């Protein structure tokens, strides 16, 4: 798997992946906001994910931190017609309320994790609960907020945490959050990663749920205790290859 990883662990990967969105920015808060948006939108074709993330950021004047701290009710009108798959204007407004509340009360989104963050699961739960409390979302919006307490694999938010936490010598992930350690992360598990892990004998089935995400990560820790999710890219692209071979 390390050989496969070497093929993708370089900055050339960025131009074809949603992680290019937070790479548009250098300020921590802008990286957090744009990264959370791109990760939330990350289902479907990558080209569409990237285009829709860019569209959303353009509505924020490509200045996300300043925008969320200063937007007026009039500024919100442009978001009401936004749509990406099942994510719509109602959801967009809830996310903007969330971001505003975060940065009115904290320096960075990482502060939501509290003084000590012990693991990815508890950190995700803190973010989920903060979203509920800060954005007053409608029930439909919570469908876009994955929660491990409901058994979800939480692929998108685990990917976001990977971007924020992992200390990446290849320059892909940012490593700007310090309360979690890379060893505490959970591998983002989608159908591609699940297919690859199953074919490699790392999972008994191809189900994308929290149990399998945690179980896969524990096996990856045997390969690299301090950085198990470094294998995320290798598994993802192996799964993409298997999809091309029409693996059931």
Domain count, the chain: 1
| Predicted pLDDT at 241 | 64
Residue 1's pLDDT band (cuts 50, 70, 90): low
Give the phi and the psi of residue 152 in degrees, each rounded to 5.
Answer: -65, 145
Structural domain including 227 reads 2-244
Secondary structure class of 75 (helix, strand, coil): helix
Question: What is the distance between the alpha carbons of residues 153 and 208, in angstroms, rounded to a whole number?
Answer: 6
User: How many Å apart are CA 117 and CA 27, to the nearest integer?
Assistant: 22
Q: Please, what is the average pLDDT of the chain? A: 91
DSSP secondary structure string for all residues of 85-116: TTB-HHHHHHHHHHHHHHHHH-SSGGGGG-S-
pLDDT at residue 13 is higher than 80: no
Q: Cα separation of 35 and 174, whole Å?
A: 10
Q: What is the pLDDT of residues 205-215, one digit of tens each?
A: 999 999 999 99
Q: Angle of helix 28-40 relative to helix 46-59, nearest 10 degrees?
A: 130
Q: How far is the C-alpha of 84 from the C-alpha of 103, rounded, in Å?
A: 25
SS3 at position 163 = helix
Mean pLDDT of 228-237: 88
Phi/psi for 126 (5° steps) reads: -60, -40
SS3 236: helix
**Residue 97, pLDDT score:** 97
Instruction: Write the pLDDT tens digit of every residue in 21-71.
Output: 999 999 999 999 999 999 999 988 999 999 999 999 999 999 999 999 999
């Amino acid at each position: 798997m390390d050989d496969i990883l070497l093929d993708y662990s370089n900055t050339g990967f960025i131009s074809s992946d949603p992680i290019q969105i937070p790479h548009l920015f250098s300020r921590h808060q802008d990286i957090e906001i744009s990264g959370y948006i791109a990760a939330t939108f990350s289902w479907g074709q990558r080209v569409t994910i990237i285009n829709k993330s860019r569209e959303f950021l353009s509505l924020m004047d490509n200045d996300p931190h300043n925008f969320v701290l200063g937007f007026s009710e009039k500024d919100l009108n442009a978001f009401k017609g936004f749509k990406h798959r099942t994510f719509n204007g109602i959801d967009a407004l809830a996310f903007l309320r969330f971001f505003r509340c975060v940065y009115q009360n904290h320096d960075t989104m990482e502060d939501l994790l509290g003084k000590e963050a012990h693991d990815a699961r508890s950190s995700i739960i803190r973010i989920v609960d903060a979203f509920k409390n800060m954005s007053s979302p409608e029930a439909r919006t919570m469908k876009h907020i994955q929660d491990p307490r409901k058994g979800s694999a939480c692929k998108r938010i685990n990917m976001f945490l990977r971007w924020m936490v992992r200390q990446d010598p290849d320059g892909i992930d940012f490593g700007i959050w310090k309360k979690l350690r890379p060893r505490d992360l959970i591998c983002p598990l989608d159908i591609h990663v699940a297919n690859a892990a199953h074919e490699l004998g790392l999972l008994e089935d191809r189900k994308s749920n929290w149990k399998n995400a945690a179980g896969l990560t524990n096996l990856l820790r045997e390969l690299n205790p301090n950085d198990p999710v470094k294998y995320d890219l290798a598994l993802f692209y192996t799964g993409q290859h298997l999809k091309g071979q029409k693996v059931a």
